[in-house]
Each structure stands twice: as structure tokens, then as C-alpha cells.
Structure 1
Amino acid sequence: MRVVSLVPSLTEAVAVTLPDALAGATDWCTHPAGLDVPRIGGTKNPDVPAILALRPDLVLANEEENREPDLAALRAAGIEVLVTEIRQLPQALRELDRVLRACGASSRPRWLDEAEAAWGRLPVPARRLRAVVPIWRRPWMVLGRDTFAGDLLSRLGVDNTYAHHSDRYPRVPLDELRAAEPDLVVLPDEPYRFTATDGPEAFETPSALVSGRHLTWYGPSLAEAPGVLGAALRGRAGER
């Protein structure tokens, strides 16, 4: 089986579970560290001829991260494309199992069981927090409705202020974000790389700098994500 992945999360899942199956990945596929496979461009602008030259049996994609015209071009060339849809944690666990079996796994990997167990034993939070979750600035954009990251935060006791917005990633003026008076501002390091000096200064509310990989990736990082995210979120919320 030769697999090309157009999704960083799925690349990591395949590389950890079935390393010999991975024949290519995007420039944004940074995990596992030291991954050495041919690169085929970005998630939004993959080099279709380069993918075809790798002669994959299967291409992995995601309905949000990849563009349908690129996937259609691959299908037209006779390549099988598996498209995932992941908006909630249970869906992620099911899709990961489906992807890995399609790539040749004969059984469910241990890390996937560990991830499910880690999220299944979360303690009930002493109190729920209300947060604004920017994902970009200039212009400011935040998590809106129906997002995987929003679902993870909710399971950790953090409710997204814009969870019921009509858009999934709305643009919201900074003044409005401040006026929302959340308990916490959650600032991931991707897709925009918020840092201690680029993001928190815009808010008087405590800001939690968190790993974007643990907040938005669905793969082996899910096993450690509850601990990593929980510590970052609760630590900063205690300042209010």
C-alpha cells in the first residue's frame, strides 16, 4: 500500500502506525519529527502531477483542509481518495480507525485506544469557563460553530463564546472580542503563531497560549492533549 496524505494530522497517524505505507505528504506535515518522505506542496495547493508521479494507491484528505478541485483531479486520474470529516472527538476516533484500516492496519493501534481512554476519564471541572478563541489577527478571526477544537475545549470545561455564530470561523472586531468579557482568551500557535508578545497584549483578560497541534490535530497527539491543554487552560484561568 502506497499512501499520500494531504492532512498533517493523518500524516502523523499513518507515519506512527504504518510508516512503510506513507509515500508522500504536504509541506505542513511536521510530525512525527524527522519525517522523511517526498513533499507535494501545501494542503490548499498540492502539486497534483507530483502526487500522481508517486503512484499512490490511496490519497488521504479532509473536507475542510483540502480543496475539492484538487481531489477531483486526483479521482479523474484514477486515484482513490478517502475524504474525512471531523467536527467532534468521537467522529475523529472513528475516522482515524477507518483511515488506518484503509491504509492496511489489521487492528486498532494502541495510541488510538490510549487517546480514547484519556478523553474518557476527564474529571468534571469545578466550574466551566467562557473563552474567546482567536485563530488569526489582522483581521481577527475566532473559532465559531461546529469545530473540532471547540468540541475539545468543551470537553475540558471551556465554552466557546462564539460557538453559536452562523460562521465556523467568523471575523470579529477586536473591540467586540474585548466587550464579550470572557473568562479566558485561548491563543493557539497555529494557524496563526500567537506568542507571549503577539496576542495577549490585545486583551485584559488572562490569555492561555496553547499548542495548536494538541488543540486542532486529530492523531497520536490526542492521547496527551487533555493533560497538556488542561494544564495550560486552568493555570491561566486562575489569574482572573
Structure 2
Amino acid sequence: MRLASLTASNSDILAALGVVEGVVAVDNHSDAPGLERAVRVGPDLNIDVEAVRLARPDLVLASLSVPGMERVVAGVRAAGLRTLVLDPVSVPDTLRDIREIGAAVGLPERGEAVAARLEAELRALARPFPRPPRVLVEWWPRPIIAATRDSWVTDLLATLGAVNALAERPGRSSPLTLEEVRAARPDLIVCSWCGARKLRPEVIEARGLGVPVACVPESGLGRPGPRLVEGARLIAAALARLGLESITAR
């Protein structure tokens, strides 16, 4: 099957399924191994639909986890290409998507195995705390944008025994003022800037909130797929470094 992947999260899923050799077109951000022969068709929000069409994919994979992807999807469908559009907002959604892609490429058993392994690896990182630590995941620094209630981040943190400090704020993400960040009372701020070449925790520390900052590459937290376990491990390690006393005191 000839495949096109327009988002890095879907490319990571295809790699975990072992089918990257069938990927004929891929977005510029995807960095899963084995994609060297695929045609690069532009950044996820600026896909060259004609280039995708010329690659003659049997199936195009897109994801609304990238804000603004709806316009790209409309263009791909207008080109008459068969498209599978995913829209995960939770960890269970992500596991479902892995299974769905596995079934779509004719490997349902492998999809089930990849999803089950991810679920088990995440559960293995769970840790009890006297009080669930409050974690704020920052997607961008200026303006401050952070993950809110309807994000897979909320479920991921719950699996680790923590809570999203913005779990009561609706939406997938939201711009915040510095006062709103302070009011969220985070015990930990995770710097996971989307599309940034370099994470700079000192920018967050300079705000004077006195909250520890941990860095997690966007590839390990901003992509709802098998690499979420990478981000989960880094957050779990950062929470362990906080110490139980500081978490209890806040």
C-alpha cells in the first residue's frame, strides 16, 4: 500500500507498525527513521497537495491534533484522495488511532500490539503522591500557550499520578497571561515548545514564578502516538526530582 503522512504523529505510528517503506509522501516535520525515500511535501500546515497527488498514495493520513489542519484536509479531499483523518484528544483516543491505522494498512494485530505496549509502558510509570502534583505543559512562550482540559496531556499526566494544572480550562490549548499561570499553582512547568529548534527553560525561569522547569522535546509530548512514552518518562523523572515534601507543601 502506498501511504502519505501529513503529520509527524502519524508518521511515528507508521514507523512503530513497521510500514515506513510504503510511505511515498511525508510532511517536512516527520523524522521517523526510514522515510528517506519519501517525497517531502511541505510543513504540516502548508502541504503541497499537488505533490501529494503526484505521489499516487492509496491512503493519506492526516490529524486534527495540529491546529489548522482542517484546511489541508479539505484540499486533499478535493483532490480526490482517500483520506483517514484522526482527531485525538486523550490517551485512549491515541491508542484507538494506533489500532485504526493498523487496521487501515492491513495489520490489525500489529496495531493492537503497538497500542497495548504503549498503554503498558505508560501505566508502568505511575507513581503515588501525597497530593497529585500540578503540572503545566507549555506549548509556546510568547504569548504563553499551554495545554488545557481537552488535550491528551491531561490523560497522560493522570496516568503518572499528576494533574494538568489547567484541567478546568476548556479547549485543547489556551493563551495565558503570567497571572493566569501563577493562579494555576503549578508544581512543575514543562517546556515543550512546538516547532522550536531549541528549548530554553531560562525564558520560563526568568518570569520569577519560582516553579521548577523541565524540558521535553515536542516529539515526545506534542505528538499523540507511540513516542508519548518518551515524554512521559521525562516528566516522571522531573516529578521524582521535586521531592514529596515540596509537593505536599504547595
TM-score with structure 1 length normalisation?
Answer: 0.88
> How much identity, in percent, do the aligned residues show?
31
Hey, what's the Cα distance between the residues in 2 that align with 1:181 and 1:64?
A: 27
Correspondence for 1:196: 201
Name the CA shift for 1:183/1:43 in 2 (closer, same or farther; >3 Å): same
SS in 1 for 2:134: strand
2:78 to 50, 73, 76: 76
Counterpart of 1:230 (choices 236, 240, 244) is: 236
Asked if structure 1 preserves the Cα contact closer than 8 Å seen for 2:4 and 2:23, the reply is yes
TM-score, structure 2 normalization: 0.85
Q: Contact 1:8 / 1:30 at 8 angstroms: preserved in 2? A: yes
Aligned match of 2:215 in 209, 221, 226? 209
CA distance in 2, matches of 1:9, 1:217: 5
Equivalent-residue separation in structure 2 for 1:87 and 1:230 (angstroms): 21
Aligned-residue offset at 1:45: 1.1
Unpaired runs of at least 5, structure 1: none
CA pair 37-236 structure 1, distance change in 2 beyond 3 A: farther
Q: Tell me the residue number matched to 1:4.
A: 4
Partner Cα separation in structure 2 for residue 80 and residue 34 of structure 1: 21
| Cα RMSD (Å) | 2.4
- Does the 8 A contact of 1:3 with 1:58 survive in 2? yes
Q: 1:123 to 1:72 in 2, by over 3 A?
A: closer
Deviations 1:64-105 (A, max 9, x none): 325323222222222100011211112211111111221232
Within 5 Å, give how 1:27-38 maps onto structure 2.
27-32=28-33, 35-38=36-39
Structure 1 residue 35: deviation in Å?
4.1
CA contact (8 A) 2:20 2:34 kept: no
The amino acid across from 2:220 in the alignment is H
The answer as to 2:170 corresponding to 1:166 is: yes
CA distance in 2, matches of 1:222, 1:87: 13
Partner of 1:117: 120
Q: Conserved in 1, the CA contact under 8 Å of 2:13 and 2:226?
A: yes
1:5 positional shift: 0.4
Gaps of 5+ in 2: none
- Total equivalences in the alignment: 240
Would you say the 8 A contact 1:21–1:103 is kept in 2?
no
Q: 1:58, CA displacement in angstroms?
A: 0.5
d(CA) in 1 for partners of 2:222 and 2:54?
30
Moved more, 146-155 or 71-80: 71-80
CA contact (8 A) 2:221 2:227 kept: no
